Structure 1
Amino acid sequence: MDLPADIIIVNGSLITFDPATEGASALAIRGEKIAAIGSDAQMRVLAGPDTRIIDAGQATVMPGFIDSHVHLFCGSVELGYLDLHGVTGLAALKAAVAPYSDETPEDAILFAVQADYAILHADKTPTRQELDSVCPDRPFAMFAPDHHTVWANTAALERAGILHGGETAAGCDIVMGDDGLATGELREPGAYAAVLALTRHGGRDLAGLISGKDPVPTPNATDRARDKAALARGMHHCAAQGITGLQCMDGNFYQLELLSEMETEGTLLCRISVPFHLRPEDPLDRLSEAATMARTYTGDMVYSGTVKMFVDGVIEGRTALMLQPYPDTTDTYGDPVFSADHFNAACTAIDAMGLQIAVHAIGDAGVRRTLDAYQTARETNGARDSRHRIEHLETMHPDDIPRLASLGAVASIQPGHAPFGGIFPAGGVGKYLHPHQIPHAYPWTQLRDSGAAVIFSTDWPVIGVDVMTNIKAAIAPLDLGPDWVDQTQSLMQTLASYTRDNAWVEFRDHQKGRLAPGMLADVVLLSHDLTRLAPAQITEASAQLTICNGRITYQAQ
């Protein structure tokens, strides 16, 4: 190397995911790339007078984490809203809301997040009247953790213009009461969009999810500055977890414009991919916008090339699409978001364009419908290395598990979503499943054993973007008894699915996801040697130093 290194990390326990660099203890970074990897002595000779030398203290040094399923804009914005995680009961909800209301007098609507489906009752969801008692003097609404349901009080429903109901997109529902008025429960984005439009960001943070289009009206300079400030906070939060890459699962041109501006301004702390979101009401000619996104945004920091779709909803809201009715019902199968013909045609068209597909599919029928569409696309267009993804796969028919590998499809999984992940209530999902569905629910191990590619993520802000909490969900899951299959993952499987494999799924494994000379300098130094921690104690570890593109983006104090 002709010039000295900018940064050298020594005395590390390196996890490289590269056979040629296994056993190394040090690495050198020059500019945006890893210049060399080897022993401490070999790296120290590459130092110059201005080189920063960092002693890792024999802790883990590894590729920066890549979260392959996030909603960055939404997650960033929600860092500023009232967090109701763990709040249970009417009294506790009132106690949480009252001071927050006092702190935010200028907000048009008091908005909260992470409200559990059973926040007020074990067997039913909140009503607008109950939320009226929680917040009697102003509009109030709260998001479920999965972001598929909003509950709103009467004032919020009135302000949004949906107290008396309204038209919604397919698979969405403004639940109506016997009195002819909305109950307060708004299922899926097409039902709650009017409420989100009242928030301090005007719903712009979810415009790419709800409509797949840019915000209307066009954000002014003040709004753009507010949105970029939120994104900057969100990326700092991610960098503090050791994250160097984020794959967004909602998007529009507006988000790409903001992120590109931030890259120019020097405030972009993570590499970010943004998809085009195709909605069920969209004609297929809208896919020309996806092609434009993919052609326009091709950098190493901000890029596109994926089309995101939803095929169903969520289990707890009984909107995930099932092969048979939900327990205790005779005709509730969930809500298909697309018609089968439209969905198949969309997948075939996207595949023919050479773009990647990512589909939210949670119910066993939703997963099957997605696999059927991928098979149709392959039979029509011919086989290629598409790396089409299925997001979540929370319930599967056993016949469909081997189909992913045969179709070259990728299982995109969020360990913290599972009832045995230790984040959501352990009994929350099982009551919505038939006994025969449980052995094939959250089938991480069965999918790996079938030969399918498996990648890990959080779906932030559905759960926190915290890496170690999600890793613990995978390597130290709760034991829910004999009805549930043990889905424990090994540490190395999990770390690979969070780094190397997440780089692979976005066709950038030649650039990142491994520690090797010539790779982009995306590196995290942790506080512990992860291999020496018991699985249940993995959350004792935290990021001490995060480097993205050769730049230190986070350093613990």
Structure 2
Amino acid sequence: MSAADLILTADRIHTLAGDSSPAPTAIALSGGVITALGDRTDVRFWRGPHTEVVDLGDATVTPGLVDGHFHPVMGIGLTRGVDLSSVRTVEGLTAALRAADVAPGGWLEGWGLDPNAFEGAPITHAPLVEAVGPDVPVFLLLFDAHSALVSPKALAMAGIDGPRGFASGASVVCDADRVPTGHLLELEALDLVRTLLPDDAPAERRARLTDLLRRMAACGLTAADAMDFEADSLELFRALEDDGELPVRWRFAPFVMPGTGRDGLDAVIAQQRLSGRRWQVQGAKFMIDGTIDGGTAWLDEPDSHGESTACFWPDPRDYTAAASLLAAHGVPLVTHAIGDAGIRYVLDTYAELAATRVPHRVEHLETMPSELIGRFAELDVTASMQPTHCTSYTRADHTDNWSSRLGKRRADRAFRARDLRDRGARLALGSDWPIAPFDPRAILAAARLRRPAGEPDVEPVLPEQALTARMALEGYTSSAAAAAGLSRSSGRLLPGYRADLTVFALDPLTTGPDELAESPIPLTVVAGTIAHRTG
């Protein structure tokens, strides 16, 4: 073989391609692919005058980590203003808003607010008025990004003075007197106010996206599935590639919203031809329901508030028709489905669709009866889940907002990652950033612990659904590759496969999950080039 571009040696290399004896301790990369595996004595045969050799010592090399659910462009717009993710009480919310810097006449923005801060009381703009008075326009995005809390001034600026009708399952929450409370549910309602917010300058957006990608590479991510391709996504990624190679690969699935007609669907089909050196459009993103926390999921039976009874599409048959048309054109489908009725409807729809080269997917899968578990393997549908949605926003004693809305029976069949794996489902793992942090080390740990990493006093949520260390790692590597239709070229460390690698200082298959969450990442390699290196 010709001389390698890059050679890595390490005490452990997990190929995820079956057991090999002896285990490799050296790997050669050239032209963006893996060219050889062996031991340290083989290096002299692979190297040439321009080969870079990196001895990683007591480290572990794995296939590159892939985040299965991410919102990069949407996320850099949503994470503006005050980070409210650590707020736990209404008093804490008021204090955080009082401490915020607001320019005279400007907006106060925030994100990441957990509805559990209201401790079961109605979510209203009263704390906003108490914090900054009635004349400041405030827009606070709740943690799920499907709902927001806005001030009376923001409502007035948007001309919202009562209930509104929407094509989707969105709503302006009102009190008994039909006066808006400031709580907005789902995207169409949020956009009534969000369109009034000041825009970031294009240079600022490029800078924020560049920083995001660098931070992703620094924690071991080599690729991600982006669940949107709206706004200036095309311009941003083309601009970044004009400046150099992306440190993270991307697959994009543009949104298809209720009311999208044939012209809109044809546009999504046309977008499938868009690509760059390390990004491509491949898929279409639907939502069949909203969220349990907001009362907009689609459940077989109402939640404890009498809500979550309707499909996000006013007529579910319109979703089926749009999905059928796109699948017939070879477009793989991605559908957000959280409630049991929604998951069932999506699986029934997929069962009738034309097969595509890349398997269809269902995202989130929060509460699901046992009879649906086996259908994922039967239909060859990818189950895509985000372990920290469970561990960060629900509690084992069911006192959180999510669980209390569902009730014990449905909360006890939640986030069934292990059941899906045990029944042969293809399970991809991810973060849903900015809904939750994207660091894969913490997510791998949460998948095994069923509680937040580093918090041993927290009771695990349904610990029988914990994944093994290998299952969790596969969810970020080999299963992620299979979900993208790349089983024969990615997700394992084999000659001819993509040279995307993640290096852990600790061994993700033997290190305790709490310790793994703190493991340094010495090196991240994408397409055979170093995307991140410590020191």
Q: TM-score, normalised by structure 2?
A: 0.91
C-alpha displacement at 1:71, in angstroms? 0.5
- For residue 410 of structure 1, what is the aligned residue in structure 2? 382
C-alpha displacement at 1:135, in angstroms? 2.3
- For residue 228 of structure 2, what is the aligned residue in structure 1? 250
Counterpart-to-counterpart distance in 1, 2:196 and 2:20: 53
Counterpart-to-counterpart distance in 2, 1:438 and 1:320: 14
Q: What SS class does the counterpart of residue 273 from structure 2 fall into?
A: helix
- For residue 219 of structure 2, what is the aligned residue in structure 1? 241
C-alpha displacement at 1:253, in angstroms? 7.1
Q: What SS class does the counterpart of residue 343 from structure 1 fall into?
A: helix
Q: Deviations over 1:29-80 (max 9, x none)?
A: 2242223221112124433444332222221111111001111113334555
C-alpha displacement at 1:532, in angstroms? 3.3
Counterpart-to-counterpart distance in 1, 2:128 and 2:366: 31
Q: Is 2:430 the counterpart of 1:452?
A: no
- For residue 454 of structure 2, what is the aligned residue in structure 1? none
Q: Is 2:296 the counterpart of 1:323?
A: no
- For residue 211 of structure 1, what is the aligned residue in structure 2? none
Q: What SS class does the counterpart of residue 114 from structure 1 fall into?
A: strand
Q: What SS class does the counterpart of residue 334 from structure 2 fall into?
A: strand
Counterpart-to-counterpart distance in 1, 2:104 and 2:424: 53
**Residue 528 to residue 190, structure 1, CA distance change in 2 (3 Å):** same
- For residue 206 of structure 1, what is the aligned residue in structure 2? none
Matches within 5 A, 1:235-314: 235-252=213-230, 254-266=232-244, 268-297=246-275, 299-314=276-291
Asked whether the 8 Å contact 1:108–1:199 carries over to 2, the reply is no
5+ residue gaps, structure 2? 452-456
C-alpha displacement at 1:480, in angstroms? 8.8
Counterpart-to-counterpart distance in 2, 1:550 and 1:337: 44
**Residue 482 to residue 68, structure 1, CA distance change in 2 (3 Å):** closer
- For residue 355 of structure 1, what is the aligned residue in structure 2? 331
Counterpart-to-counterpart distance in 1, 2:458 and 2:212: 34
Q: What SS class does the counterpart of residue 290 from structure 1 fall into?
A: helix
Counterpart-to-counterpart distance in 2, 1:106 and 1:539: 42
- For residue 162 of structure 1, what is the aligned residue in structure 2? 160
Q: What SS class does the counterpart of residue 515 from structure 2 fall into?
A: helix
- For residue 13 of structure 1, what is the aligned residue in structure 2? 12
Q: What SS class does the counterpart of residue 278 from structure 1 fall into?
A: coil
Counterpart-to-counterpart distance in 2, 1:267 and 1:124: 49
- For residue 124 of structure 1, what is the aligned residue in structure 2? 121
- For residue 214 of structure 1, what is the aligned residue in structure 2? none
- For residue 94 of structure 1, what is the aligned residue in structure 2? 94
C-alpha displacement at 1:165, in angstroms? 4.8
Matches within 5 A, 1:24-39: 24-39=24-39
Counterpart-to-counterpart distance in 1, 2:104 and 2:345: 46
In the comparison of the two structures, how many residue pairs are matched? 525
Asked whether the 8 Å contact 1:140–1:152 carries over to 2, the reply is yes
Q: Deviations over 1:475-522 (max 9, x none)?
A: 111499899461010111111110111122112233321212222221
Asked whether the 8 Å contact 1:157–1:163 carries over to 2, the reply is yes
Q: Deviations over 1:219-255 (max 9, x none)?
A: xxxx432322221111112111111101111123731
Q: Is 2:366 the counterpart of 1:394?
A: yes
One-letter identity of the residue aligned with 1:508? L
Q: Is 2:483 the counterpart of 1:510?
A: no
Asked whether the 8 Å contact 2:358–2:484 carries over to 1, the reply is no
One-letter identity of the residue aligned with 1:358? V
Match of 2:350 among 338, 353, 374: 374
Q: What SS class does the counterpart of residue 241 from structure 2 fall into?
A: helix
Q: Deviations over 1:175-212 (max 9, x none)?
A: 1234443210000111011322234436xxxxxxxxxx
- For residue 470 of structure 1, what is the aligned residue in structure 2? 443
C-alpha displacement at 1:553, in angstroms? 1.8
Counterpart-to-counterpart distance in 1, 2:262 and 2:369: 30
Asked whether the 8 Å contact 2:222–2:526 carries over to 1, the reply is yes
5+ residue gaps, structure 1? 203-222
One-letter identity of the residue aligned with 1:360? H
Select between 425-434 and 445-454 the one with higher mean Cα deviation.
Answer: 425-434
Asked whether the 8 Å contact 2:450–2:465 carries over to 1, the reply is yes
Match of 2:502 among 510, 524, 543: 524
Q: What SS class does the counterpart of residue 502 from structure 2 fall into?
A: strand
**Residue 55 to residue 386, structure 1, CA distance change in 2 (3 Å):** closer
Match of 2:513 among 517, 523, 535: 535
Q: Is 2:58 the counterpart of 1:81?
A: no
Counterpart-to-counterpart distance in 1, 2:223 and 2:461: 36
Q: What CA RMSD, in Å, does the superposition of the two structures yield over aligned residues?
A: 2.5
Asked whether the 8 Å contact 1:291–1:305 carries over to 2, the reply is no
Q: TM-score, normalised by structure 1?
A: 0.88
One-letter identity of the residue aligned with 1:315? I
Asked whether the 8 Å contact 2:65–2:220 carries over to 1, the reply is yes
Select between 53-62 and 17-26 the one with higher mean Cα deviation.
Answer: 17-26
Q: What SS class does the counterpart of residue 230 from structure 1 fall into?
A: helix
One-letter identity of the residue aligned with 1:160? A
Select between 299-308 and 498-507 the one with higher mean Cα deviation.
Answer: 299-308
Identity %: 29
Q: Is 2:465 the counterpart of 1:493?
A: no
